[in-house]
Amino acid sequence: MSPSYQDLLATAREVIPEVEPSEVAPRVEAGDGPLIIDVRETAEWDQGHLPGAVHIPRGFLESRVAGATSGTDQELLISCASGQRSLLAAKTLADMGYTNVTNLAGGFARWKQNNYPVEVPRILSPAQRSRYSRHVLIPEVGEEGQLKLLDSKALLIGAGGLGSPAAYYLAAAGVGTIGLVDDDEVDESNLQRQIIHTTERVGMNKGESAKEAIRALNPEVQVNVHPFRVNRDNVLDLLEEYDVVVDGADNFPTRYLLADASLMTRTPLVHASILRFEGHASVFNPYDGPCYRCLFPEPPPPDLAPSCGEAGVLGVLCGVMGNVQATEAIKVLLGIGDTLSGRLLIYDALGMTFTELKVRRDPDCPSCGPNADLQLRDYEAWCAGVGSHDHVGATA
């Protein structure tokens, strides 16, 4: 005769030791307990679980256990609601060769009755789970990563060519707070590339205009409009409020100001610049890899550094580079992958080539070097000064 459910439980009990909550609670509290695998369904897990437990629903136990454990000799404590599903799960693990498996007697119910500590996981709401489902499916992001993005704050300098696509995609991705620094108004000539704005909103502050677009796309995102220019009096307070800064500035004084200020506040800086058909991008992690001044110690004079307003820019180039920035910002916020730190990415849209240059930290860097005297200066005057000195035509 085939074994009944009771027979299966009895057989499992013969090989799987049961542990009372009172026996294991002090070890769990001290942080030296066994690896706890909770085999309940997701809806049960979401109501609360043992501190530090890993969640593997019973149906996925065989396929996922190897990924959650360090080896078949690791000490495992299996738990469920009442101790029966976990007993059978533990038996399965023993059959799979795990040699040190125990079962939590009475399960989560008895643990909770005895008032031992419980962790209630922060979870996405059903609406969020649906909106961000394509992120949740990616192992490197998942629900945990999405929650991290929702808690994150990104500051964008400029809601223009680079800031438009970057802000739009960061908002779509569910970055919870987006700050937009821009004192400029939407102009008709912006709409060839600044896709977050609209013809109807010509004349509106760019931050306000972007806020409207973001609200329509993802009302959950908190948008802070900072309708002024970033300067040395406000930059540190601004950066302190955010986890990452995305530099889409259109001038060197602002870029060098951000480079120095982000070192002071230890804020990762996601850089991009664009002209005509060409884009540069990199990531500057404060004191962990090179900074902007390690790469470009001094700005070039104005005629070697025309603005897009003077020299033009292919509209769609802004989309590519702004989205490189959005990608890097998300990676920085999640702590995943290899960012462009230590590399300068050069995109040539005419040749459709991506080139990478190595960027090293400069031991003599005047901003991040060990002997640097880092302080915010008058960047307008400094850029004008270094740009003009000894700039006289001469050939070799």
Partner 1 sequence: MSTVKIPPVLRQAVGGERTVEVTGETVGEVLTNLCDQHPAVGSQILTPDGELHKYVNVYVNDEDARLLQWTDTPVGEGDTLMILPAMAGGER
Stretch that binds Zn ion, among 206-214, 240-248, 286-294, 351-359 (CB under 5 A): 286-294
Site membership for partner 1, residue 91 (CB under 8 A): no
Find the catalytic residue in 80, 291, 294, 308.
Answer: 308
Residue 365 touches Zn ion, criterion: CB under 5 A: yes
User: What's the first-to-final CA gap in the chain, in angstroms?
Assistant: 98
Site string for partner 1, 6-45 (x = CB under 8 A): ----------------------------------------
Q: Does 330 bind Zn ion (CB under 5 A)?
A: no
Which does residue 106 touch among partner 1, Zn ion, none (CB within 5 to 8 A, set by kind)? none
Q: How far is the CB of 187 from partner 1 (least distance, A)?
A: 10
The binder of partner 1 chosen from 301, 372, 376, 382 (CB under 8 A): 301
Q: Which stretch binds Zn ion (CB under 5 A): 111-119, 176-184, 316-324, 368-376?
A: 368-376
- Binding to partner 1 in span 318-357, by CB under 8 A: 318, 346, 348, 350-351, 355-357
By beta-carbon proximity to partner 1, the closer residue of 104 and 383 is: 383
Question: Which one of partner 1, Zn ion, none interacts with residue 368, CB within 5 to 8 A by kind?
Answer: Zn ion
SS3 track for 58-93: HHHHHHHHHHHCCCCCCCEEEECCCCCHHHHHHHHH
Strand 244-247 relative to strand 269-275: parallel, antiparallel, unpaired?
Answer: parallel
**If binding means CB under 8 A, how many residues of this protein chain bind partner 1?**
62
Q: Which does 206 bind (CB under 5 to 8 A by kind): partner 1, Zn ion, none?
A: partner 1
Q: Is 291 a catalytic residue?
A: no
- Answer with the entry of Zn ion, partner 1, none that 291 interacts with (C-beta below 5 to 8 A by kind): Zn ion
Interaction between residue 368 and Zn ion (CB under 5 A): yes
Closer Cβ to partner 1, 2 or 395, answer by number: 395
Which residue in 291, 308, 344, 383 binds Zn ion (CB under 5 A)? Answer: 291
Binding partner of residue 396 among partner 1, Zn ion, none, CB under 5 to 8 Å per kind?
partner 1
For the window 156-195, what string marks contact with partner 1 as x by the rule CB under 8 A? Answer: --xxxxxx------------------x-x--------xx-
123 makes contact, choosing from Zn ion, partner 1, none, with CB < 5 to 8 Å by partner type, with none
Q: Examine residue 307 and tell whether it contacts partner 1 (CB under 8 A).
A: yes
In angstroms, rounded to a whole number, what is the distance separating the alpha carbons of residues 179 and 226? 7
56 token code pair: 């593997």
Rounded Cα distance between 295 and 358, Å, is 10
- Looking at the annotation, which residues are catalytic? 308
Residues of the shown chain interacting with Zn ion in the complex, contacts defined by CB under 5 A: 291, 293-294, 365, 367-368
Residues of the shown chain interacting with partner 1 in the complex, contacts defined by CB under 8 A: 158-163, 182, 184, 193-194, 206, 247-252, 254-255, 273-278, 280, 295-301, 303-309, 311, 313, 318, 346, 348, 350-351, 355-360, 386-387, 390-396
